[in-house]
Amino acid sequence: IFDDDAVLNAQRAMLVRCAPERWRVLLLLTSPVQLDFATGLYRGPDASRAKVWRLKLKNVVGDLESSVGAFYHPWALAQDKIGAPVFELPPTAFAAGVIARRDLARGPHIAPANELLIGVVGLSPPVDDATNSDIYEPPMNINPLRSFPGIGIQVWGARTLSGDMWMRYLPVRRCLSAIERKAWAALRPLVFEANTPTLWFQITQAMLGILTPIFNAGALRGATAAQAFYVRCDETNNPPETIAVGQVLCEVGVAIAAPAEFIVFRVGRDQGVVEVIE
C-alpha cells in the first residue's frame, strides 16, 4: 500500500512531532517488510535492512529528543492457537504489550525486556548472538527479539534511539516520563495561585509526595531520599523578574536507578499553563 519512502517519511514526521513532548509518548518503530526476489513475496526485513533503516532515522531530531522512540527487530510469526494460520507481524505491537505488562506488574522503571512473547511461534528472520551484538550496540540501539531453546521468544533489549549515555535506556526514559506526567497533573490545581513563598512550599510538597513513593519503590538510586532526588522551588530560582512575567519554576533532580546519575528537569507555570522542560 505504501512504499519505503512513504513509511520513512511518516516515521520521521512522528519523531519530529512527538520529540517536544517526549514525556507524554513513546514511539515504537521498526523497518517495513522487504521483497524476496527469489519468491516474489514480501517477508520480514533482515538485519542489514534494519540497520540501514535505523540509520535513516538518525539526526531527525536532537540526540536527547530521540529518546522519544525505540526501534525493534525482527518481525514476528504469530499464531492464535495450534493449527491456526501463522501471520507475519511487526514487532512493535508485541513490544507495546511487554511494556504494558511490565508497567502493571512492576512499574515503568523496570526494563521492558527479558519477557516472553505470548502467541509468537517464530521470527522472520531469527536473530543469533552475532546479529544481536551487531544491532544492539551503540549507535544502532536496535532492540532484538530472540528465541531461546526451552524458554521461548523474548524481547531482548530496552534501548531508545538516543545516543545519550543515560537516555538511551528505556527504563530511564520511561521512569522520568512517569515522574514528569505526575508532576504536570499535580501542579494543574496550582496554576492560578498567587506566586508567593506559600505557593513554592505547596509545589515542593507536591513534588515530595510524588518522588518519595517512587524512591520507596526502588526506582531511584541512593541509600537515602536526599541522595536519590532533590527539589528546589524558592527565591533562588524564582527571582523578582521571573515572578513579574507570571512564571514560577521548580527544579527537580532525580537519580534513576540505572544508571546512577542526576537527570534534571523543570516544572513550572507560565501564563496559566503548566510546562515541563528537560
CB 183 within 8 A of CB 267: yes
Using the Cα atoms of residue 133, residue 135, residue 137 and residue 141 in order, give the sign of their dihedral: negative
Q: Is 150 exposed, middle or buried (0-12, 13-18, 19+ CB in 10 A)?
A: exposed
Contact status, residue 145 vs residue 153, Cβ threshold 8 Å? yes
pLDDT of residue 190: 92
Give this prediction's pTM: 0.88
pLDDT of 240: 93
pLDDT tens figures, 46-103 = 999 999 999 999 999 999 999 999 999 999 999 998 889 999 999 999 999 999 999 9
| Residue 224 identity | T
pLDDT of the residue at 274 = 76
Confidence band (pLDDT; 50, 70, 90) for 260?
Answer: very low
Position 174 scores a pLDDT of 95
Range with the poorest average pLDDT among 72-81, 175-184, 267-276: 267-276
Query: In angstroms, what CA-CA distances link 96 with 90, 93, 115, 117, 272?
Result: 11, 5, 12, 11, 34
Which of 273 and 14 is assigned the larger pLDDT? 14
User: So what's the pLDDT on residue 271?
Assistant: 63
Average pLDDT over residues 8-36: 95
262, pLDDT greater than 70 = no
Q: Which residues of 98-127 are buried (b: 16+ CB within 10 A; e: fewer)?
A: bbeebeeeebbbbbbbbbebebbebbbeeb
What pLDDT is attached to residue 101? 95
The band of 261, judged by pLDDT with boundaries at 50, 70 and 90, is very low
pLDDT at 176 over 60: yes
How confident is the model over 111-126, as a mean pLDDT?
93
Report the pLDDT value the prediction gives residue 263, as an integer from 0 to 100: 64
Q: Does 276 have pLDDT greater than 90?
A: no
The reply to whether omega before 74 is within 30° of 0 (cis) is: yes
